[in-house]
């Protein structure tokens, strides 16, 4: 690498189907997720030189990645190893939200590191195959780190947009852009609100119970995931028709099913926040990602947004404003 490269990938919100992309389910039944990339990002800057030939990150310094077992971020270490950035580099990571917040930040980090590293051999790295980038990024979490996660985050980080993601039992992932009418898209953006609960958690840890119950063929878990899969079909139909009044109830039904998939998905306090939002006028809400904390997604009609905002900020939550983005990961280089 003979240039300084900055790469970033978008975070995402999932409207329906989350959990059906996890291999313990999708490898048997196939999964379906409806998700939207947002204009909040995780990214990296990689500078090709460091005094004494070390690999220096924003939080630590070591001779090589292999010697960085004490590095406080195993995810970053695994990303750098897969990308081949093992020495003679300075790496800085930046992000718009805290880690472990349910917006796909780990996947966006992996995609960004891989995209930045691709500039070593591909000057036109923005022409990278997004599917290949997503697949390699997913291997970092699923294979290298052994985490019980699916691939939706990696594909959204690589592709961007508002998408239907189909997860075949073979492991193949198909993406379809939902080309919404501009008015429908703008109204959907306005109806979706994000609030940070202040709780950071490891998605793999939260999902491990769901993963185990699914692999064991637990009837209740499977029936809930089957129902969540059907909700994703219904959500796609609503969006295609421009029926935004149907989005809130579907998100709410998704949460009713998801919150009972594992003992760590919700808690009395998190459920209280959800119920408080509905009492203030939200049509539906759910915790994003694995649950257990992170961001609360709420669906609100125009005339209810301010009352919901007051209720959530009154409970001590912080709102994250956003818009959708059509762009997946991007990289720019500054030749030395």
Q: How many CB atoms lie within 10 A of CB 316?
A: 11
Residue 42, classed as helix, strand or coil, is strand
Which of the 8 DSSP states describes residue 65?
Answer: G
| Cβ-based burial of 1 (10 A; exposed 0-12, middle 13-18, buried ≥19) | buried
Number of H-type helices and E-type strands within the chain = 11, 12
Per the annotation, the verdict on 181 as an active-site residue is no
Chain-centroid distance, C-alpha 149:
11
Q: Which helix (DSSP H) or strand (DSSP E) does residue 5 occupy?
A: strand 3-16
Which residue blocks in 118-198 are alpha helix, DSSP H? 130-139, 152-159, 182-191
From 88, 153, 234, 303, active-site residue: 153
Q: How far, in Å, CA of 21 to CA of 26, rounded? A: 5
End-to-end CA distance of the chain: 10
Question: Is 220 in a helix, a strand, or coil?
Answer: helix
Cβ contact 100:291 at 8 Å: no
Cα distance between residue 11 and residue 255, in whole Å? 20
Active site residues: 153
């Amino acid at each position: 690498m003979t240039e300084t490269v900055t790469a970033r990938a978008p975070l995402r919100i999932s409207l329906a189907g989350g959990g059906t992309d996890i291999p313990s389910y999708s490898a048997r039944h196939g999964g379906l997720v409806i998700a939207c990339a947002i204009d909040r990002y995780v990214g990296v800057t990689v500078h090709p030189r460091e005094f004494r030939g070390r690999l220096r990150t924003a939080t630590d310094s070591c001779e090589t990645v292999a010697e960085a077992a004490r590095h406080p971020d195993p995810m970053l270490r695994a990303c750098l190893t897969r990308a081949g950035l093992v020495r003679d580099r300075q790496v800085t990571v930046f992000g718009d939200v805290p880690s472990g917040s349910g917006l796909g930040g780990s996947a966006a980090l992996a995609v960004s590191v891989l995209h930045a590293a691709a500039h070593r051999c591909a000057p036109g790295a923005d022409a990278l195959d997004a599917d290949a980038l997503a697949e390699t990024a997913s291997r970092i979490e699923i294979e290298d780190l052994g985490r019980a996660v699916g691939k939706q985050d990696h594909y959204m980080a690589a592709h961007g947009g508002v998408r239907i993601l189909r997860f075949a039992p073979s492991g193949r992932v198909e993406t379809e852009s939902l080309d919404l009418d501009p008015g429908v898209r703008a109204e959907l953006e306005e109806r979706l609100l994000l609030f940070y609960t202040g709780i950071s958690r490891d998605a793999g840890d939260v999902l491990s119970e769901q993963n185990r119950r699914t692999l064991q063929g637990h009837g209740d878990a499977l029936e809930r995931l089957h129902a969540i899969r059907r909700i994703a079909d219904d959500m796609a139909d609503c969006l295609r028709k421009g029926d935004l009044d149907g989005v809130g109830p579907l998100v709410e039904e998704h949460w009713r099913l998801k919150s009972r998939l594992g003992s760590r998905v919700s808690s009395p306090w998190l459920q209280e926040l959800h119920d408080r939002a509905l009492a203030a006028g939200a049509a539906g809400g759910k915790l994003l990602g694995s649950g257990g904390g992170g961001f609360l997604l709420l669906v609100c009609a125009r005339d209810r947004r301010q009352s919901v905002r007051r209720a959530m900020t009154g409970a001590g939550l912080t709102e994250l404003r956003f818009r959708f983005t059509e762009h997946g990961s991007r990289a720019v280089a500054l030749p030395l």
